[in-house]
Structures are given as C-alpha cells and as structure tokens.
Structure 1
C-alpha cells in the first residue's frame, strides 16, 4: 500500500474561491480567517452579479469619470501652464503641480480603510467629494505655482484618492462571475471622463480663463461624485483593517511585485499624458487641436479598458498586461521617438490609448483575485502608493531632463525613459505570473 501523506492538508482552510494564493506558515495569509457563511446565511444577502450589483458598478463608474477623468484635464492645464501662464518658470517647477496632485490621489488611498471603518463606505466617499471640491475651488483663485501645488495638488489629490480607492474596491464585493468586466468598466470611467471634461475645460479656459475652468469642474465634480457616493453600500458588513499600512503585506512577494509593476507603469503612462499635447504643438499643431487630441486617446482607452475586463474573464489578466506593455514600450520608440509627422503621432496616440492602460484596469482585478475582501482596499492602497512614489520621483526628474537636455522642445530623452519603464515592468509581470502559478500548485 502507498504510504499515507505525513502532512495532510485541511481542505477547508487551505483554499478559497477567487484566490489563487494559498496559505503557508512563512507567508502573508491571503485567505479568509473565518469560514464562509453557510448556504442559508448566503441566501439572505443581495445576489452577486445581478440586481443592485449593477447599481454599484454604475456609481463607481460615475466616480471614476471625475476621479480619474480630471487627470486628463491636467494635460490641458499643463499645456496652459507651459505655454501661457508660466512662460518664464522652469518646466521642472511647473511639473510639481500635477506631480503632487497625482501623488496624493495615488498615495492618499491608504487613508480610505481606517476612515471607512469609522464612517462606512457611503459617508467616506462623500467626505472625499467635499475635500476634492474644496481643492478645485481654491485652485481657481490660485495664481502661483506653490498655490496650485497646494490646492490642485494636495487638497484635491487627497479627496480624490478616497473616492478612487472606494470605486476600485467595492465592485469586488458585489461581483464574482463578472468581476473582471465590472472592474474594467469602472476603470474605463477615467477615459470616458476625458470625453466630457477635456472639451469643457478647453473651451472655458479659452473663453473665460483657467480660473473658471476650475470652478465649473468643481461644480460638476461635486454633483456627480455626491450622487455616486450616496448610491454606494457594501454587500455584507465591511470592516477593513484599522491601519494605514498593514506592514505584513509589504513582506509578501506578490505585493512587492505588484508595487514594482505599479511604479514603472505609472511613469510610463504619466509622461505621455503630460507631455504629448505639448509635443504636438512643437510640430506645428494648433493648441486647441493638441489638447483635444486627449479625447481621441480617451475614446480608444475607454473601449480598451472595458474590452480588457471582458477578456480577463477568459484570458489571464497577467498575460494581457504583458502583451500590452510590450506594445506600448515598442510603439513609443518606433513612432513617437522617430517621427515628427502628425499622421504618425495620431496613429501612436490611438495605439497608446488602446494598450498603455491595461495594468490600471486589470491590476485591481488581479488584486481582487489574489486577496480576501478585507485586504483588497489595503493592497489597492499600497499599489497606488507605489504609483504615487513613481510620480513624486519620476515626473519632476523627467521635467528636469526635459528642461536641461531637451531645452523644452526635444522629447527624445523622456520618450526613451518612459519606453524603458514599460519594458522593465514586463520582467516583474512575468515573475508575478510564475510565482502565483507556483504558489497555487504548492
């Protein structure tokens, strides 16, 4: 007779639905500590993938329209600052405005968990609305770089971070079969938001100045995210960990690799978003057309985010991101770096819109699959902290390179750097895919 296993595994505690990673004695526990509710208890909960689940998806979609859609308007603001408002201010100084805004939007998400524990999901989201709107209103009266860094950067960023963290976390509680599609659709909100926000900001800044652009954006932001926040609620009682950072997660290889990928992906994505409209102007494109090109990017980006979420239900999310990052890094050098033709630039921007954003759509899907519900918000926050650090370190440095070596007209150096960021991220994506598969089988 075959020898019995000397270390039998208790199936009831070693695996869990929608978690690829199993528990070991030396790694972070990524599976539920408490047993799942029995069938009778589960039947009393709202159903997954139907009914109010779609209301949740809609509410989170609305919030990301303005939470991340506002970033697209920063391309308009950045161009306005570089070409009109701060002509005599160094590019690396101007870069601090958008740098701080993106940094606090990313890193501030870690505050969401402890606040949710005290106020609940709905009122925490509404708090984010109030803070972010205040930042936009104060920015409308700002005339100096440091004032915009404080208002558009710090205040707006912190409020926005709470809204975004919740928007990416809550759908995981309400969806199982259609989780990839739901989170992908929510992630597409930022791209659809560009189609709404960019033309409004562009037209108002041309006719009434940048101050009124901020004020109108503040009104739209307040109304939309207030409605979205009021529709939110957890499917079951949700008590995230009462810590800004759970340091045990920082020791886990999966969290580490996700953070490294987040770091490089954020730099690779942010630089074209901030500098591509200005590069169009430098090849002879009119300012209005250059900023309106952001809408072209956003249309293809929105479609791609939804499609990637749908495909993630059938294809590994990691594989989708690997292919997308390879294409993004390659076309950046093959098209943006080598050409000064508007036609080539247009083709590049369309392709970049389709492939550059897949990690931002599928990263939350991967995290929701790897971790239990009470850790999703925390890991999302840590991932966005890595993105914030990338912005804080990368964008000012690239602005300095653009100022010193590019003389504010040569984009070749920063294009090469951002292309390298996408290609480097592939190494860690492959490592993540291999490690998750290995741990799943162990």
Structure 2
C-alpha cells in the first residue's frame, strides 16, 4: 500500500483517486501542454513515391508529345503537308504547348478546390481522344484541332495539378521528387520518337499514331491507381478556398517583370531547335529520315541528364548560377549551329543543346518564391508569369519557321540561318534580363548572392 505525507498525516493514495479536470476546464494557456503535438509535414513515404511514379507517367504523355513534335514537323513537311510553309505547320505544336501551359492558370485553383480526380480522368480522356482523332486527320485544320487544340487542352488540365500533388507530399525531398517527375517529359519524347520511326514505314501514319494513342491510354491507366489509391492529398471541396488568379500589384513590381520577360525571350527560342532539327538534318544535311528523327532522341536523352545535373548543382550553389549558365550556353549553341555542316557535328550539337536547355524547365519555379516573397499572391503571380511565357512558346517557333528559306542550297545550312539567329538572339537577350533579375534581387531585395 502506497502513502504520501500530508502535513503530519499519511494519506492512502489508492483510497484517494486523482480527479483529472475536463479538457474544457483547463485554461487556454495550458491546453497547448495537454494536446498532442501536430503531426510533422509529410516528406515521402511509399504513398508519396507511388504518386511520383504516377505523375511521371502523366508527364510522359503531357510533355512527351511536345518534345516529340519535331518528328511530326518533319513528317508533315516532307509528306502529309508538303505544300505548306514550315511556319504554318509549327503552329500545331506551339498551340498545343501554349494551351498546355496557360491552362494551368485555371487548373491550379480547381486542384485547390478538390477537382483533381475530375481533371485527371477528363484530361486523360480528352488527350487520348485527340490522339485518336489525329490518326484520322489528313488536312491541316483537322491536325490543328486534334493535335493542337484537343490534346493541348487535355494535357493542360494535368500539368500544374501534377506538380501540386507531388509538392504536397514532400518537404526536404521536393526538388528530387519534382526532378524525377519532369524527367518523364524527355523520356516520353524518346519513346514516342522511336515508336514513330520503327512503325511509320510498315503500317503507315494512321496506325502509327493509333499505336501511340494506345501507349498513352495504357500509361494513363497505370497512373490512375498510383495517384489515387488511398491518397489523402488530392484536395477537399469542402475545405478548399478559391485561389486568387490575378494580382494587379504585380505590374508595379520590377522583380516580377524581370522574371516574366526574361522567361518570355528564353521561351521564344527554347523549343525552336526541338521542332526543327529533324527537318534540318534531312533537308539540309541530307541524312535519312531515321537518323533525322534520332537526333530528337539524342537531344531528349541528354535533356534528362541536364535536368538532374542542374538540380544537383542548384542544391549547392542556388538556382540562379546554373540557370543563367544554361541559358547562355544554350543561346551560344544555337548561334554555333550556323557553322555546323557535317552530321557528326550536328549530332554533337543536338546532344549539347538538349543537355544544357533541359535545365530551363525545372529551375525557374524554384526562384519565384524569392521574386514574390508574399505567399498570399505567389500562386496568382506565378500563373500570370506562366501565361505570358506560354504566349512566347506560341509565337516563337512560327516566327522562326517563317525565317526558313526553303530555297537555300542543300548542305550549306543557309536556308535555316534566320531561324538560328532568331532563337540564339532571343535566348541571349533573355539571359541579359535574367542577369538583371539576379542583380535586382541581390541589391534591392537584400538576398544572398547564391540564390
């Protein structure tokens, strides 16, 4: 039997039950000591890494067709739409990439409101439907509607929500997770290019595109359970709040404009080589169609390496140094393209450009929280910046295509001189604005030199 002293008396503890006051009677200052500590933020786990794999498969399709559009540009120029100007043909690819990016301004808030499942199934269905309709297309307007508009809208509602879903499940490992997800884009470009090249001569354009559609449908079907099964981070309509889409105060922020316009000029030239290097190889260097298409595979494969290396360096030096470096080198490579007249040198160019330009997709979003330190309007301003950047992707390749001189002497590369100067100078000017942004953030925002 246990006792405790109470003055000069011994009191039986077992006979005196302890009365625990109800939680509601505890003063507010003491409740924090009674309630259990909040759960730590998620940072991985099996559920989260399965979603990374699922989003990887989504990006395999969402950006895979965009990176593989060079093979379609080449086929349309030399076969299906041979009487059309390269600039007009490139509008198909740029319309798709524009809608892919700009739709994120709407799909982001819808994700916050809990509509991810609807967008996932709807976007996958519309994208696959557009691919199947492309297999039936023989005229320009049909190709524009199916591959440009239909697939662009379908992929657009999947892009930003996929990034947001993975971001909800990671903290310290978020950069690695997003890096793996975005690598699905060039891998998709590689697979679709190889499939197209291996099948086009045997079964024709229509069935080749249908096979690509079946691959898209299958990969989406595998991604659905990985993304949704047992997932608790796909949004809640009841708990969601409408996100601000437009912030007029951004127009008076110099940092916002430097970030936006540097990206605008960079993306005016970024996709141009991916769209035109197959046509350049076949029409100017006289390579076979197979080798011309494999130049896309080389560029996309090196892009995977470039993204991972840039992410590794950015984790140690900050994102600004590798970002500016990759933009400058990519611009110089486009200008050096002018002096390339042999197949080995051209393939080396494709590999180097793909490697350095690969960093231009994952690095910009990592800087934006520094450009816009207010989390209340960060999403709105990022959406505004992406919308302007998407317009650059829309007009860049058609302008470059209009500068192609089809009457140039084959083997000299002079027919593509205007295109090469355009994409190189646009990206070089973008790097100048990017350097100004770095200086502005360091001097005006008092940030560290390694941002």
TM-score range, shorter chain: 0.7 to 0.9
Q: Distance in 1 between matches of 2:434 and 2:309?
A: 20
- How has the CA–CA distance of structure 1 residues 375 and 116 changed in structure 2, closer, same or farther, with 3 Å as cutoff? farther
C-alpha contact (below 8 Å) 1:301/1:357 kept by paired residues: yes
Pairing of 1:52-201 with structure 2 (within 5 A): 52-201=47-196
Q: Report the more deviating stretch, 426-435 or 233-242.
A: 233-242
Q: Quote the residue 2:21 is aligned against.
A: none
C-alpha contact (below 8 Å) 1:169/1:376 kept by paired residues: no
Following superposition, the deviation at residue 119 of structure 1 comes to: 4.2
Q: Quote the residue 1:366 is aligned against.
A: 367
Following superposition, the deviation at residue 155 of structure 1 comes to: 1.1
The structure whose Rg is larger is: 2
The reply on whether 1:355 has 2:360 as its aligned counterpart is no
Pairing of 1:387-402 with structure 2 (within 5 A): 387-402=389-404
Counterpart pick for 1:427 among 427, 432, 439: 432
The reply on whether 1:338 has 2:321 as its aligned counterpart is no
Q: Report the more deviating stretch, 405-414 or 279-288.
A: 405-414
Q: Quote the residue 2:22 is aligned against.
A: none
Q: Report the more deviating stretch, 232-241 or 56-65.
A: 232-241
- How has the CA–CA distance of structure 1 residues 117 and 236 changed in structure 2, closer, same or farther, with 3 Å as cutoff? closer
User: SS of the residue aligned with 2:180?
Assistant: helix
Following superposition, the deviation at residue 243 of structure 1 comes to: 5.1
What do the CA deviations read for 1:354-385 (whole angstroms, capped 9, x no partner)?
10121211122223565677766545533432
Q: Quote the residue 2:271 is aligned against.
A: 270
Q: Report the more deviating stretch, 286-295 or 240-249.
A: 240-249
- How has the CA–CA distance of structure 1 residues 250 and 204 changed in structure 2, closer, same or farther, with 3 Å as cutoff? farther
The reply on whether 1:302 has 2:304 as its aligned counterpart is yes
Q: Quote the residue 2:207 is aligned against.
A: 212
C-alpha contact (below 8 Å) 1:92/1:403 kept by paired residues: no
For the aligned residue pairs, the C-alpha RMSD in angstroms reads 2.8
What do the CA deviations read for 1:65-120 (whole angstroms, capped 9, x no partner)?
11111112211111000011111122222222112112211222212024324443
User: SS of the residue aligned with 2:317?
Assistant: coil
Q: Distance in 1 between matches of 2:129 and 2:373?
A: 34
C-alpha contact (below 8 Å) 2:275/2:397 kept by paired residues: no
Q: Distance in 2 between matches of 1:237 and 1:101?
A: 27
C-alpha contact (below 8 Å) 1:269/1:357 kept by paired residues: no
Following superposition, the deviation at residue 121 of structure 1 comes to: 2.6
| Paired positions, count | 404
- How has the CA–CA distance of structure 1 residues 290 and 115 changed in structure 2, closer, same or farther, with 3 Å as cutoff? same
Taking structure 1 as the reference length, the TM-score comes to 0.83
Q: Distance in 2 between matches of 1:192 and 1:434?
A: 35
User: SS of the residue aligned with 1:356?
Assistant: helix
User: SS of the residue aligned with 1:441?
Assistant: coil
Following superposition, the deviation at residue 405 of structure 1 comes to: 7.9
C-alpha contact (below 8 Å) 2:269/2:397 kept by paired residues: no
Taking structure 2 as the reference length, the TM-score comes to 0.81
User: SS of the residue aligned with 2:339?
Assistant: coil
What do the CA deviations read for 1:165-214 (whole angstroms, capped 9, x no partner)?
12233333222222222222222211111222111122222222222232
- How has the CA–CA distance of structure 1 residues 57 and 375 changed in structure 2, closer, same or farther, with 3 Å as cutoff? farther
Pairing of 1:277-292 with structure 2 (within 5 A): 277-281=278-282, 282-292=284-294
Pairing of 1:219-238 with structure 2 (within 5 A): 219-230=214-225, 231=227, 235=233
Q: Report the more deviating stretch, 120-129 or 311-320.
A: 120-129
Following superposition, the deviation at residue 249 of structure 1 comes to: 4.3
Q: Distance in 2 between matches of 1:102 and 1:357?
A: 16
- How has the CA–CA distance of structure 1 residues 161 and 368 changed in structure 2, closer, same or farther, with 3 Å as cutoff? farther
- How has the CA–CA distance of structure 1 residues 431 and 148 changed in structure 2, closer, same or farther, with 3 Å as cutoff? same
Q: Distance in 2 between matches of 1:105 and 1:85?
A: 25
- How has the CA–CA distance of structure 1 residues 46 and 52 changed in structure 2, closer, same or farther, with 3 Å as cutoff? farther
C-alpha contact (below 8 Å) 1:122/1:229 kept by paired residues: no
Q: Distance in 1 between matches of 2:439 and 2:224?
A: 38
User: SS of the residue aligned with 1:283?
Assistant: coil
Q: Report the more deviating stretch, 46-55 or 303-312.
A: 46-55
